[in-house]
Structure 1
Amino acid sequence: GNTSKDDDRGKRATKASASARREKAAQNPPKKRSRKAPAQSDAAETAHPEHEDTEMERFWATM
């Protein structure tokens, strides 16, 4: 009986922590990227938008 309860608690704890970590990981990186991304994306687009388009086409072509 103790092992089953411990297993349930362990699974629930791992699931909760995993989901929480995933949510935090999903929320934190985008914020950090969003700060740097605008400058990089704008500069790249203004510098050579066609080049980015070709890269995307190549990327999708490989997919």
Structure 2
Amino acid sequence: MTLLNARIGEKYIITCIETNDEELNNFLFTLGCYSGQEITLVSKISGNYVVSIKDGRYNIDTDLANAIVIS
């Protein structure tokens, strides 16, 4: 399941990042978004996803949310 299907307020573990775009993969890594990391969906507004990773909150778009596989 990807972050697109996540429920607001629930904690998930990132299983992997599914993308062939190395720049996108590196960007997500700099946010702390990598396999084994905990992620929480804070809100969904008009195709924008606010997520909490570690101690930070980030706004990501649908393409980024679709690349994050969670369990």
TM class, shorter-length: under 0.3
* TM-score (norm: length of structure 1): 0.23
Compare CA radii of gyration and give the structure with the larger one: 1
Query: Structure 1 or 2: larger helix share?
Result: 1
* TM-score (norm: length of structure 2): 0.21
Query: Structure 1 or 2: larger strand share?
Result: 2
- 1 or 2 for the larger relative contact order (CA 8 Å, sep ≥6)? 2
